[in-house]
Amino acid sequence: MPAEQDGKALGVMMSKPRLETLTVTGATTLASVSATTSVTTPAVTAPTVSSGAGTALTVTSGSGVGGTAAGGNINLVPGAAVSTGTPGEVVVNGVAGITEGNWFQPLSSTACPASAAVGNIFIANRAYRIKGVRASLVLQGTSVTVNITKESGTTAPGAGTTILTGNMSLAVSNTVVTGTLVSTVATLLMAAGDRLSFTIGGTVGAATGLTMTVLLVPA
């Protein structure tokens, strides 16, 4: 099949690209295109079935041969952004975010840390981009707030750069509050060794059972 026809079948607009073949188990052969090609979102889809379980889709890298040769990696590389744009990311079922960092109290009756208390949530072992922050209390206090900051190097917990546009107000018991992230992509990027920490604010009162979760995607 000519390159132009093969590209049309994949939903790809081509201008005499160089084609390489990637075989995907459970589906037809996918043609990958060179960097000079304009792509409209090619897809690999397993064949449909008329009844019974769906068809599995497997991507397999090469096995090492001889001695202690290593096996081949499966490397997913999202597209780079231009200037201050948002980089591409790996998504599952159309939703981004693969890793989570969590901080929680051991019991729902454990008293929330006092106002001005600071603690570490997460240490990055690789580069990440922060995708979301959520927090909740089992029992509401008087006016508890939480701020999340990113620290690098020897910066003390709570003294780094805030990743939120404002503190999260945990005003209702057993209600998850979603923090609003800043819009600056660079602020949301974490290098290996960077940390995330929280700072409690407001009046804690009888608040108990604090839980915080940070959603991350590899960068």
Radius of gyration of the chain (CA): 23
CA distance 38 to 10: 12
- First vs last C-alpha separation in the chain: 37
Domain annotation for the chain: domains and CATH numbers: 1-61 (no CATH), 95-218 (2.60.120)
CA distance 207 to 146: 13
**DSSP 8-state assignment for residue 114:** P
CA distance 38 to 102: 40
CA distance 38 to 115: 54
| The two three-digit tokens of residue 33, written as one number | 């295109």
Give 215's strand partners: 100, 132
- Within 8 A by CB and 6+ apart from 51, the residues are none
Q: What's the pTM value of the predicted model, to 2 decimals?
A: 0.78
**Average of per-residue pLDDT values in the chain:** 85
Dihedral angle sign, alpha carbons of residues 123, 128, 133, 135: negative
| The two three-digit tokens of residue 29, written as one number | 């052969």
Q: How does pLDDT run across 147-172, given as a tens digit for each residue?
A: 999 999 999 999 999 999 999 999 99
Note the pLDDT of residue 116. 97
Give 214's strand partners: 101, 133
Q: Give the chain's residues under pLDDT 70.
A: 1-41
Residue linked to tokens 């509401």? 140
Note the pLDDT of residue 5. 41
- Alpha helix (H) residue ranges in 62-120: none
